[in-house]
Chains A and B, each alone.
Chain A
Amino acid sequence: MNARTRLLSHFYFQLAFIAVPFSFAISLLLSLTENPFMYSFIKYFLYFQFSISFILSLLIYYFFYMDNLYFYFNKGISIKRLLGTVLILNFIVWILLILYFNAP
């Protein structure tokens, strides 16, 4: 694994630390009003996991930790590439979660 790939995967996991608890909390709040609880929780979690939480986390990271991004820029990794990595990796996680929850 080269230095760029190592850095990109590091960035993704760093972002996951913000995004996963974030989507967990939103899913919990939304599913409290629904019945059955677990089904709606999983549904919302899967939805937020992919669609909103990672994008919001990236924006939070961009605006509050902008200087840290120079850590990545210096290795030739642009903000578009960071966003692309986040979307692709998160799509894979999303598919894996769906497959897991729909397994017989």
Chain B
Amino acid sequence: MRHKLEVTGVKMEYGLRQILTDVYLTGETGEVVGLFGRNGSGKTTLLKIIFGSLHPINHHVTIDGKYFGQPYKQGNLIAYLPQHHISPAKMTVEKIIRLYSVNQAAREDLLKNNNLKPLLKIQTRDLSYGQLRYFEILLLVHLDVKFVLFDEPFSGLDPQHKELISELIQKLKTSKGFIITDHDYRNILKVSDRFVLLKDGYCRKIAGSKELETLGYLPEGITPAI
């Protein structure tokens, strides 16, 4: 069964500055939505509103037609990875996996992951930025949720880890829906099935990279045609 996330009428302002005017965005399990937008366009704000940790002036979030004011409180609907690390600094990778995993299968899967095995006994504060980012992404995709929101998942990662994450998203999108935003537009173009540009407070559907140029997100003449 495909699950559908629908966000309508999002309005948000910081002081006198209106960030989001009338946002409409949808996502489904089985697809990856790539969210583009220039700095300060409100991408992070929008993801936090969808997740439910930020309260806007107006918003309407439904999952499978049912309204949720703060979807994250259900515990099994939505996960969000912010731009910064979320793991407690003084805990080892192994302890976090044991503490966080929803079931035995997820725990075993994470503990047996070849990329995580050498890191299991290390405290998260001693991991590099990229290692910790990769670990947190793995941790979140193993949660029993229908939708995952990633805020700059590729930031600070080396090409090998970027490739691993792209493969992971492709593998897991059969059972989850993803909304991803990142300024690494090449990887977003590669992993996403659908593109959206957040500009002037609302979302526009984008057909491909050429349109990102036309609408001023990318400088002219630098994008591969997708």
Give me the interface of A with B, judged by CB distance under 8 Å: 3-4, 6-7, 10, 14, 67-68, 70-71, 73-78
Contacts and interface: CB of A to CB of B under 8 A. Distances in A.
A3 B99 contact: yes
A85 to B, nearest CB: 15
Q: What class of interface size applies to chain B in its complex with A?
A: 20 to 34
B70 A70 contact: no
A76 B72 contact: yes
Contacts of B72: 73-74, 76, 78
Given A3-B99, A6-B99, A74-B86, 5 more contacts: A7-B100, A10-B88, A71-B86, A74-B140, A75-B75
B75 A70 contact: no
Contacts of A78: 70, 72-73
6 contacts: A7-B99, A67-B82, A70-B80, A76-B72, A76-B73, A78-B70
Given A3-B99, A3-B102, A70-B53, A76 B85 contact: no
B175 interface: no
The prevalent SS among residues of B at the interface is loop
Contacts of A68: 86-88
A73 B53 contact: yes
A74 B76 contact: no
A60 to B, nearest CB: 15
B45 to A, nearest CB: 15
B135 interface: no
Contacts of B66: none
A54 B70 CA distance: 26
Given A74-B140, A78-B70, A67 B75 contact: no
A78 B72 CA distance: 8
